[in-house]
Structure 1
Amino acid sequence: MSCLSTFSASVAFALILGVSGALKDGDCEVCVRFLGSFYESLSEGRVPFRGADIENALVQRCRHAAGKENRLCYYIGATSDAATKILNEVSRPMSHHVPVEKICEKLKKKDGQICELRYDKEVEDLSPEGLKKLKVKDLKKILDKWGEACKGCVEKSDFVRRIDELLPKHAPGAAERRTEL
């Protein structure tokens, strides 16, 4: 066997192994969590386990989704502006009580972007020192999450000051810890 054919065989073998589809730990985070909570709501008996009913309920749920979950809804075709519709790839298996992880595995094969979605990390340290370590982009995300703006903020210290002002309103626990110190 020549070197080239050995190389080709090993590349083909590696490709086959790499496309196995099994989810690794942390893969499809948004898909698994969103569809998992959706399945829980179906299990509570509000919707019969029929494909069309599941699709309608998923479209309704996606109308209120935001951020990464809205992006997932777009990818599976549950939003009005979606370019493709693969809702049946969710509703059909879900009507047969297929585990959410398996549904997300199958969706990953259809569109790899679905499993690339990740939730933003939550900021845990809202102390002045913790805020100073964050990037301006992360400080803006905190304010956006709170539904607040920072008019006239130019420098990082302006954003930190605004978050400090709003801390008692949006994170009273963190504000209390500050006063205890």
Structure 2
Amino acid sequence: CVSFLDKFHQSLKENDVKFTSADIEKAIVKTCKDAKGKENRFCYYIGATSDAATKIINEVSKPLSYHVPVEKICEKLKKKDGQICELKYDKQLDLTTVDLKKLKVKDLKKILEEWGESCKGCAEKSDFIRKITELMPKYAPAAARARTDL
């Protein structure tokens, strides 16, 4: 919750969005359209996705328009919906140093999923590793350069 709203607050400042409740709501919905994984789940909980059951966007947009600290907003959201604070980010793998051969297939699939890619016809671990190394320059250029230097 805190990290998502913190990033969102920074993007509002950078894009010079007016700090009115309505403008912030529009920006939240726009940001949530591109969100994936845990961030999309957070958007669902606050009602910023099209398939959400409840809408508590105003519980985020109003306090943000008054420049309330992100931590306080998350505390209030916790009282409304406890699931919001239960969202935990998976730890990020450092692709520059990790040995792909030692990872589980599940982790290799997760890397591809984070990139928005899939591996059709991949049956073995080596197929997934080949696909990841093939796509690495596109999605993780720094990691790809570091790997070629090794």
- Of 135, 140, 147 in structure 2, the residue corresponding to residue 171 of structure 1 is 140
TM-score by length of 1: 0.71
Name the CA shift for 1:52/1:163 in 2 (closer, same or farther; >3 Å): closer
Query: Does 2:123 match 1:146?
Result: no
Q: Deviations over 1:63-107 (max 9, x none)?
A: 222221111111001111110111121112112111001101111
Query: Does 2:94 match 1:124?
Result: yes
Q: CA deviation at 1:44?
A: 4.2
TM-score by length of 2: 0.83
Aligned partners of 1:169, 1:126: CA distance in 2, in Å? Answer: 14
3-state secondary structure, aligned to 1:83: coil
Unaligned runs of at least 5 residues, structure 1: 1-30
State the one-letter code of the partner of 1:152. G
Q: CA deviation at 1:45?
A: 6.5
Matching residue of 1:4: none
State the one-letter code of the partner of 1:115. C
1:7-156 aligned at under 5 Å gives the runs 31-44=1-14, 46-125=16-95, 130-156=99-125
Q: CA deviation at 1:140?
A: 0.8
Aligned partners of 2:139, 2:15: CA distance in 1, in Å? Answer: 34
Unaligned runs of at least 5 residues, structure 2: none
Aligned partners of 1:41, 1:169: CA distance in 2, in Å? Answer: 24
Aligned partners of 1:76, 1:110: CA distance in 2, in Å? Answer: 10
State the one-letter code of the partner of 1:107. L
3-state secondary structure, aligned to 2:107: helix
Aligned partners of 2:142, 2:17: CA distance in 1, in Å? Answer: 38
Higher CA-based Rg:
1
State the one-letter code of the partner of 1:51. S
3-state secondary structure, aligned to 2:120: coil
Aligned-residue RMSD, C-alpha:
2.3
